[in-house]
């Protein structure tokens, strides 16, 4: 049998019944991967929400799928479901090449085909089953099924979807009341808004009239799940060279806009967001590029220039200021991730962005901050951008959401190893601190890749 997320492929039409059957099938497949009590269909009021009490195990294999070499699998060019990062693990080396080449090195089978996105050519099961959970797709399924339940309720029909909904709840219960803070530029805001639009979340923009920053809050009501975006760098299109962040302007943004609203960016633990993801590379790059343009009296911008050491030091100061602002605001316990820079989609080179990313990787490693390597993973996928810097809604935005939720899951005490959810978050947080359990290992694994 094909592994999960595949079995229902035959159900090509999107009728309500088909969707419900597919979801039931998928969730039952999925359930095999969950540490649930067999046959425990009821959703109990236990604090672990139907999950077996967390095992007494206090250590697990620490392996971050998104830090492994791999590839992006997407079903089609425009899909937002069925997209995942597939780490190679051991499957690649075990493949039998004799089927492809004969002893004289002549191909016995066609290696190249016209498949651009693995449409009819799925990666091998043993690779795909090691891929990380597609949290975003599960959330979308939940939305579909709960809409179906509402329709059935209104129609007074038998609750075909109720069982599917219960199964999904068992996988997703832990996202309730969570809060994710994303600090960055429009590239991050775009990803947040794709996520929310796709789940019909309510997006609020505030302050509406500011030319200094923007704050976007998205709430997925079904889950009371909140994602907040704080904009660093410039806002709007009219960014002159003076529109750059300095450590002082970072302070000012914090004091005027972020600190006064920071109380609303508090999640399950009551004192901080459950996870923070930040990045501030592209506007800093733009500042240096603008400065250089003025300095040499040119009309065009040059992204191929290597930044000098002073520029790197200034950027590092900015980065440190941002991190210490976050720490001052929310304390040292909140997990913070540096999101690696996604290079620009333009014909020129983007060397300055590489320089800044490299400096940030180094500084964050020294400051004990883990990396979410989205920028590296999507490097080269420029046809999926909707303009020079912002990624379109599609496979890559889905991938971003899956990645963010992999870390959020971990921040809540969940452990996923090679595609298996070996430990579900414990709502009482009485046992292992899954974040710190693997933090040292993941810090050691960090490579300087730029
Ligand atoms: C919660 O579940 C665990 C394991 O099944 C059980 O030992 C415990 O008594 C349950 N607690 C409540 C309040 O039901
Ligand atoms: C949700 O429903 C829409 C519309 O029926 C469908 O296109 C989409 O594939 C479904 N997504 C999931 C994850 O079930
Ligand atoms: C979510 O928050 C509400 C309000 O504080 C609370 O009643 C509920 O128990 C919380 N649910 C979970 C799963 O934490
Ligand atoms: C939503 O979650 C937040 C953070 O956990 C909590 O303070 C708030 O009470 C929750 N609201 C509802 C309606 O559950
Ligand atoms: C911007 O909004 C704030 C809060 O709503 C208000 O106090 C301020 O006067 C507004 N500024 C402008 C220039 O409209
Ligand atoms: C754009 O910047 C120029 C020069 O700083 C300024 O004169 C102009 O008013 C700005 N336009 C807007 C819409 O902010
Ligand atoms: C090939 C594949 O896995 N297709 C799946 C994509 O996602 C939808 C919605 O979850 C499934 O119904 C398909 O089976």
Confirm or reject: Cβ of 300 under 6 Å from ligand 5.
no
d(CA 184, CA 164): 37
Could you tell me if residue 380 is inside a domain? Answer: yes
Same-domain pairing of 125 and 186: no
Residue 109 CA neighbour count, 13 Å, CB half? 6
Q: What integer pLDDT is reported at residue 111 of this predicted model? A: 59
The binding-site residues of ligand 4, defined as CB within 6 angstroms of any ligand atom, are 177, 179, 224, 266-268
User: What per-residue confidence (pLDDT) applies to 279?
Assistant: 95
**Ligand 7 mutation pick, 81, 118, 128, max ligand atoms within 8 A of CB:** 81
What pLDDT is stored for residue 165 in this prediction?
A: 92
- Which pTM value belongs to this model? 0.83
Look at ligand 4, atom 2, and give the residue with the nearest C-alpha.
177
Whether the CB of 196 sits within 6 Å of ligand 7: no
Other Cβ atoms closer than 10 A to 103: 7
Tell whether 157 is covered by a domain: no
- Assess whether 188 and 304 both reside in one domain: yes
Asked whether residue 279 falls in the same domain as residue 201, the answer is yes
Instruction: Report how far residue 82's alpha carbon sits from residue 378's, in angstroms, rounded to the nearest whole number.
Output: 16
229 shares its domain with 362: yes
Domain check: are 210 and 326 in the same one? Answer: yes
At which residue do the structure tokens 């989205």 appear?
374
The answer to whether the beta carbons of residues 55 and 195 sit under 8 Å apart is no
Instruction: Tell me, yes or no, whether 206 and 350 share the same domain.
Output: yes
**Structural domain contains residue 392:** yes
Radius of gyration from C-alpha coordinates of the chain = 23
What dihedral do alpha carbons 380, 133, 408, 143 form, nearest 10°? 100
33 CA distance to ligand 2 middle (Å): 23
Q: How far is the CA of 208 from the centre of ligand 5 (A)?
A: 8
Q: Are residues 116 and 218 in the same domain?
A: no
Please indicate, yes or no, whether residues 186 and 261 belong to a single structural domain of this protein: yes
Find the ligand nearest to 3 CA.
7
Is 39 inside a domain boundary? Answer: no
Ligand 5 nearest atom to the CA of residue 209, by list position? 1
Model pLDDT, residue 132: 96
In a domain, 95, yes or no: yes
Q: Report pLDDT for 313.
A: 94
In a domain, 433, yes or no: no
What pLDDT sits at residue 406? 98
Closest CA to ligand 2's atom 7: 14
- Please tell me the predicted confidence (pLDDT) of residue 25: 45
Whose atoms come closest to the Cα of 427: which ligand?
A: 3
Same domain, yes or no: 127 and 186: no
Distance 141 CA to ligand 2 centre (A): 7
260 lines ligand 5 (CB under 6 A): no
205 and 111 share one domain: no
**C-alpha of residue 50 to centroid of ligand 4, in Å:** 21
Contacts of 342 (CB under 8 A, 6+ apart): 187, 374, 375, 378, 379, 389, 391
* Residue 58 pLDDT: 67
Question: Is 66 domain-assigned?
Answer: no
List ligand 3's pocket residues with C-beta within 6 A.
176-177
Ligand 6: residues with CB < 6 A are 238, 240
Q: Please state the atom number of ligand 1 nearest to the C-alpha of residue 53.
A: 4
> Among 443, 445, 371, which Cα is nearest to 403's?
371
Residues 222 and 370 in one domain: yes
CATH number, residue 217: 3.40.50.1110
pLDDT value of position 287:
85
Sorted by sequence, the CB contacts under 8 Å of residue 53 that are 6+ apart come out as none
Domain annotation covers residue 267 = yes
Residues 87 and 214 in one domain: no
Domain that holds residue 243: 176-412
Rounded to the nearest angstrom, the distance between the alpha carbon of 280 and the centre of ligand 6 is 23
- One DSSP character per residue, 291-343 reads HHHHHTT-SS--TTSPPPHHHHHHHHHHHHHHHHHHHHHH-S-S-EEEEPPPP
CA proximity to 339, closest of 193, 212, 187, 236? 187
**Best residue for ligand 3 mutational test, from 47, 177, 413 (most atoms within 8 Å of Cβ):** 177
| Gap from CA of 271 to ligand 1 centroid (Å) | 28
Q: pLDDT of the chain along its 450 residues, tens only?
A: 333 322 222 233 334 444 444 454 444 344 334 443 332 333 333 344 444 444 556 678 999 999 998 989 888 788 888 899 999 876 677 665 545 556 676 665 655 655 555 545 567 777 788 899 999 999 999 999 999 888 888 777 767 788 899 999 999 999 999 999 999 999 999 999 999 999 988 888 887 667 788 899 999 999 999 999 999 887 765 566 555 677 788 888 899 999 999 999 999 888 999 999 999 988 888 888 888 888 898 888 888 899 999 999 999 999 999 999 999 999 998 999 999 999 999 877 899 999 999 999 999 999 999 999 999 999 999 999 999 999 999 999 999 999 999 999 999 999 999 999 998 987 555 556 878 889 999 998 776 665
- Starting from the CA of residue 220, give the closest ligand: 4
| Number of domains composing the chain | 2
């Amino acid at each position: 049998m094909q592994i999960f997320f595949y079995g229902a492929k035959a159900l090509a039409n999107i009728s309500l019944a088909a969707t419900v059957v597919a979801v039931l099938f998928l969730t039952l497949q999925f359930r095999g991967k969950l540490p649930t009590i067999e046959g425990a269909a009821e959703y109990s009021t236990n604090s672990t929400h139907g999950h077996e009490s967390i095992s007494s195990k206090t250590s697990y294999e620490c392996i971050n799928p998104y830090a492994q070499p791999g590839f992006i699998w997407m079903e089609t060019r425009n899909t937002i479901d069925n997209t995942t990062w597939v780490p190679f693990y051991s499957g690649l080396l075990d493949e039998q090449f004799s089927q492809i080449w004969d002893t004289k090195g002549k191909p016995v089978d066609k290696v190249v085909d016209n498949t651009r996105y693995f449409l009819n050519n799925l990666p091998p099961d043993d690779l795909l089953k090691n891929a990380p959970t597609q949290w975003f797709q599960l959330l979308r399924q939940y939305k579909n099924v709960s809409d179906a339940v509402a329709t059935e309720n209104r129609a007074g029909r038998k609750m075909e979807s109720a069982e599917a909904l219960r199964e999904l709840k068992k996988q997703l219960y832990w996202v309730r009341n969570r809060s994710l803070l994303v600090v960055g530029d429009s590239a991050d805001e775009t990803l947040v808004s794709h996520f929310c639009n796709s789940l019909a979340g309510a997006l609020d923009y505030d302050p509406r009239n500011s030319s200094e920053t923007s704050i976007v809050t998205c709430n997925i009501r079904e889950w009371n799940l909140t994602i907040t975006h704080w904009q660093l760098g410039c806002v709007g299109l009219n960014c002159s060279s003076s529109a750059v962040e300095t450590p002082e302007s970072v302070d000012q943004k914090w004091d005027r806009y972020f600190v006064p609203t920071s109380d609303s960016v508090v999640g399950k633990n009551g004192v901080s967001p459950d996870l923070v993801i930040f990045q501030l590379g592209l506007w800093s790059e733009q500042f240096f590029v603008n400065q250089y343009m003025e300095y040499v009296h040119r009309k065009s911008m040059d992204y191929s220039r290597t930044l000098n050491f002073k520029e790197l030091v200034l950027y590092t100061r900015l980065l440190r200021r941002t991190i210490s602002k976050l720490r001052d605001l929310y304390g040292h316990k909140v997990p913070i991730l540096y999101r690696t820079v996604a290079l620009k989609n333009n014909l020129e080179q983007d060397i300055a962005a590489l320089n800044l990313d490299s400096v940030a990787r180094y500084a964050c490693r020294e400051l004990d901050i883990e990396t979410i390597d989205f920028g590296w993973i999507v490097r080269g996928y420029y046809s999926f951008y909707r303009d020079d810097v912002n990624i379109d809604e599609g496979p890559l935005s889905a991938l971003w959401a899956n990645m963010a939720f992999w870390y959020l899951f971990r921040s809540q005490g969940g452990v996923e190893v090679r595609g298996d959810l070996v430990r579900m978050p414990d709502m009482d947080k009485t046992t292992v601190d899954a974040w710190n359990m693997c933090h040292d290992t993941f810090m050691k694994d960090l490579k300087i890749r730029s």
